[in-house]
């Protein structure tokens, strides 16, 4: 994948996050709460669709073909109480995010370990270049340990 294509994905994700943050947060918060409190898979699916719809409605400036992928990435972070602060590209795509709780950090680790983010980024990049691409999402163990230590120190 060329740098231009990575930059296109980064720009769409960055702008998508900004667009979502600019609008009334209540419908999104309500869908996230509903998802987190849902007891069954059917209820979780209902609230995930509600969340995706609320996010997609805000992504008015992004390429139409990328909207479902960008919405899914943002939704997965939100469901796990992870806030995306910045998205950038250099030698790879870097997402700086904020986990406000230990559970959020552990959820991020699970999200990465499950391969779900690999799949979402692979689909988004494949959409951009019209051929199959495999993405690998990771967090350095050092960064993870530092964040965990910081969260535990804040908790007292």
Checking if the pLDDT of 1 tops 70, the result is no
Strand segments (E) across 55-101: 82-89, 93-99
Rounded to the nearest integer, the mean pLDDT of the chain is 89
Residue 73 confidence class, pLDDT cut points 50, 70, 90:
very high
| Confidence band, pLDDT 50/70/90 cuts, at residue 54 | very high
Predicted local distance difference test score (pLDDT) of residue 115? 93
SS3 140: coil
**40: pLDDT strictly greater than 90:** yes
Distances (CA, A) of 11 to 61, 70, 95: 11, 11, 12
Here the tokens at position 89 are: 């590209």
Angle among Cα 64, 67, 69 to the nearest 5 degrees reads: 135
Q: What is the pLDDT of residue 155?
A: 65
Half-sphere exposure of residue 138, counting CA atoms within 13 Å on the CB side? 6
Q: Check whether 113 has a pLDDT greater than 70.
A: yes
pLDDT at residue 75, as a whole number: 94
User: Is the pLDDT higher at 50 or at 154?
Assistant: 50
Range from 27-36, 65-74, 135-144 carrying the lowest mean pLDDT: 135-144
The percentage of residues in the chain with a pLDDT greater than 70, rounded to a whole number, is 96
- Degrees (nearest 5) of the Cα angle 145, 35, 60? 90
The alpha helices in the chain, defined as continuous H runs, are 3-22, 26-37, 41-58, 67-79, 102-113, 116-129, 141-155
Residues 92-103 have a mean pLDDT of 85
- Work out the average pLDDT over 83-90: 87
Domain ranges of the chain: 3-155
Mean pLDDT check: name the lowest of 22-31, 39-48, 134-143, 146-155.
146-155
Which two tokens mark 115? 């391969």
């Amino acid at each position: 994948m060329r740098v231009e294509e990575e930059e296109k994905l980064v720009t769409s994700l960055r702008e998508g996050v900004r667009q979502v943050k600019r609008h009334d947060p209540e419908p999104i918060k309500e869908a996230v709460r509903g998802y987190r409190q849902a007891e069954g898979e059917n209820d979780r699916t209902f609230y995930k669709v509600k969340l995706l719809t609320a996010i997609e409605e805000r992504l008015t400036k992004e390429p139409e073909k990328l909207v479902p992928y960008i919405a899914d990435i943002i939704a997965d972070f939100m469901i796990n109480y992870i806030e995306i602060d910045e998205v950038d590209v250099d030698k790879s795509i870097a997402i700086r995010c904020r986990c406000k709780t230990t559970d959020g950090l552990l959820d991020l680790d699970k999200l990465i370990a499950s391969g779900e983010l690999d799949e979402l980024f692979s689909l988004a990049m494949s959409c951009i270049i019209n051929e199959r691409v495999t993405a690998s999402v990771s967090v350095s163990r050092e960064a993870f340990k530092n964040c965990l230590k910081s969260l535990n120190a804040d908790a007292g």
